[in-house]
Amino acid sequence: MSNIIKILAVASGVTAGVLGATPALAAGTAAGATITNTATLNYQVGGVAQTAINASNNITVDRKITLTVAEVGSATTSVAPGSSAQVTSFTVTNSSNDTIDLGLTAAQLSGGTAAHGGTDNFDLTGLGMFVDTNGNGSYDAGTDQAVTYLDEIAADASRTVFIVGNVPLTSANGDVAGVTLVAQARSGSGAGSQGAVITETSGANTAAMDTVFADAAGPASGDGARDGKASDDDDYTVSAPALTVTKQSRVVSDPVNGSTNPKLIPGAVVEYCIVVQNAAGSASANSVTISDPLPAQTSFVTASSFLNGTYTGSTPTGTCNLDGTAGGSVAAGTLSGTLGTIAAGTTRTLYFQVTIN
């Protein structure tokens, strides 16, 4: 801090370029600046010019602490279960008329409504705060530095701050984790260290520069209006596949009855259909691998397995359509096959036949 700039009006000879310029700054005249107004009176008495008279007064500009924290963008951060270093971004701005430090606190909601409407029901792990060191607006691990405060932020300057955390593998589709970032005005006590919390001047005006808080209330708990703090919230929403697996079987034929009312006698052919459904509104599932140990009393019918078929009706009473592509293999008594990407709201099957020994 101690950024006291004296603005002294000069009685004459001030260039128009300086005085005529209207700064575009929101913060305005620096805290502690002295505004001196001087008027000069010239006059004559009896036709004789008299000594000019000056009159002046000084006022000192107070320190107005205004700061804001604003989420970058207005959408939730979509994350997958088990993913690491997931980012929410905030812009922290010092609109005060003084250089200050900004203490930072990242917190997680504990229940309640998150920033984008969902209900908070899980926490991230390893939560950290990073400043956008290289100023490119996106989090770069190893480049952007971990911070607990922003040092020596000039009037009207801002920084991008990232909250970074890991998503537990146990989280499910639609789970929401709300986070908040709080910035608190602290004295710009010198570069390299965090200054003391700035307090508002209480009671009557003092001869020195006074401090007045002019910040608005924020969504974080404990961030009221005019408390030298600012905050905003954001959230993470888990986007995961919601898979259900159903297995159904049907006797196709037997050696005695053929395909008419076949019975489960030795030599009968049985078809199996493994149905994988991905619920609507969830994330696509990639590389879904199915492993099915074949019963010891059965033998796999060579080249009878088909992948990625469709399914008509609802499990377990629907029909497994024979429209897949040949695929899958048997090794050590286990049939395995890999289905393609299963988008939300779609169903894919693995179909195969065995004979009863």
Partner 1 sequence: MRIFLTLLAILAPSMAFAANNVTLSSLVFVEKAVPDGAGRKHIVLEEPKSVMPGDRLVFILNYRNAGRLPASDFVVTNPLPAAVVYQGGAESAQVSIDGGRNWGTLPALRVLEPDGRWRSARAEDVTHLRWVLKQAIPAGAFGKLSFRGVVR
End-to-end CA distance of the chain: 88
Nearer to partner 1, 18 or 191 (CB): 18
Mark residues 254-293: x for contact with partner 1 by CB under 8 A, - for none: ----------------------------------------
Selected from 2, 3, 4, 35, the binder of partner 1 by CB under 8 A is 35
62 binds partner 1 (CB under 8 A): yes
Q: In this structure, are residues 347 and 308 in contact, taking their beta carbons and an 8 Å threshold?
A: no
Q: Closest distance between partner 1 and the C-beta of residue 8, in Å?
A: 8
135 binds partner 1 (CB under 8 A): no
59 binds partner 1 (CB under 8 A): yes
Three-state DSSP class for 20?
Answer: helix
Three-state DSSP class for 301?
Answer: coil
Task: State whether the Cα torsion 262-263-266-270 is positive or negative.
Answer: positive
16 binds partner 1 (CB under 8 A): yes
Mark residues 177-216: x for contact with partner 1 by CB under 8 A, - for none: ---------------------------xx-x--x-x-x--
43 binds partner 1 (CB under 8 A): yes
Selected from 1, 64, 187, 234, the binder of partner 1 by CB under 8 A is 64
Q: How far is CA 262 from CA 102, 140, 250, in A?
A: 79, 64, 10
Selected from 4, 39, 196, 225, the binder of partner 1 by CB under 8 A is 39
Q: Which of 130, 136, 127, 113 is nearest to 166 (CA)?
A: 127
Distance CA 273, CA 6 (A): 84
Three-state DSSP class for 19?
Answer: helix
225 binds partner 1 (CB under 8 A): no
Q: Are strands 176-187 and 149-153 parallel, antiparallel or unpaired?
A: unpaired
Q: Which of 357, 297, 290 is nearest to 330 (CA)?
A: 290
How many residues line the site for partner 1 (CB under 8 A)? Answer: 52
Q: Closest distance between partner 1 and the C-beta of residue 88, in Å?
A: 32
Q: In this structure, are residues 131 and 144 in contact, taking their beta carbons and an 8 Å threshold?
A: yes
- Backbone angles phi and psi of 16, in degrees to 5: -65, -30
Q: Closest distance between partner 1 and the C-beta of residue 23, in Å?
A: 6
Three-state DSSP class for 17?
Answer: helix
Mark residues 76-105: x for contact with partner 1 by CB under 8 A, - for none: ---------------------x--------
Selected from 2, 56, 110, 143, the binder of partner 1 by CB under 8 A is 56
Which residues are at the interface with partner 1 (CB under 8 A)? 7, 9-16, 18-20, 22-23, 27-29, 33, 35-47, 49-51, 53-62, 64, 97, 204-205, 207, 210, 212, 214
